[in-house]
């Protein structure tokens, strides 16, 4: 059994502009740095092993959190392919029919050249499953992205990403999931930081 705590990176300029960042390596903006610097991680979170996405915004967040974190490629944001750098409004205006078809796929939405949330969840699950577990129960922290957290959340709740999710996630909080026997479950959502 592995307990995994996810924290999303701080704000970037593209977050403000509502652009799909994906793999584009955007740094934190000043607001993002201030947000993360204000977080107070509980002691038990500070002392466990931490991993972060290789993207700069996640690395900067890990540094500001004061955790000793290792880069993990599996935690990189969802690849938005041809959609990257655009807003949802732009995409909907450019090709409303294709956009609607993609949205209707929910968990299997996959822009040209990109990956689906289902593939993201499989990538992260494979990595967690392959971790060398020396204890019966282990706890790790991950500094990652909204796309990663939503994909894991969808697995944990059997949400197909169509319609509203069963819970409202606060991305300024930690999200605590458990991975056991190839399955994700929710332990605690929206843990204040």
- Catalytically annotated residues: 9, 77
Residue 113 region by backbone torsions, left for phi larger than 0, else alpha for psi between -120 and 50, else beta:
left
Most distant pair of Cα atoms in the chain: their distance? 52
For 191, counting Cβ atoms within 10 Å of its Cβ (0-12 exposed, 13-18 middle, 19+ buried), the class is middle
CA–CA dist 170, 191 (Å, integer): 9
72 within 8 A of 9, measured Cβ to Cβ? no
CA–CA dist 161, 44 (Å, integer): 32
């Amino acid at each position: 059994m592995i307990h995994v705590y996810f924290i999303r990176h701080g704000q970037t300029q593209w977050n403000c502009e509502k652009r799909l960042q994906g793999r584009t390596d955007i740094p934190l903006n000043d607001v993002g740095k201030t947000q993360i610097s204000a977080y107070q991680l509980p002691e038990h979170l500070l002392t466990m092993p931490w991993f972060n996405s290789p993207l700069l915004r996640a690395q900067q967040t890990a540094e500001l959190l004061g955790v000793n974190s290792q880069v993990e490629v599996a935690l990189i944001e969802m690849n938005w392919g041809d959609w990257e750098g655009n807003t949802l409004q732009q995409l909907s205006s450019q090709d409303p029919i294709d956009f609607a078809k993609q949205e209707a796929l929910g968990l299997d939405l996959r822009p040209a050249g990109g990956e689906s949330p289902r593939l993201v969840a499989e990538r992260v699950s494979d990595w967690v499953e392959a971790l060398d577990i020396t204890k019966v129960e282990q706890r790790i922290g991950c500094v990652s992205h909204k796309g990663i957290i939503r994909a894991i959340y969808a697995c944990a709740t059997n949400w197909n990403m169509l319609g509203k999710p069963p819970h409202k996630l606060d991305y300024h909080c930690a999200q605590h999931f458990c991975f056991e026997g190839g399955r994700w479950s929710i332990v605690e959502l929206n843990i204040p930081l």
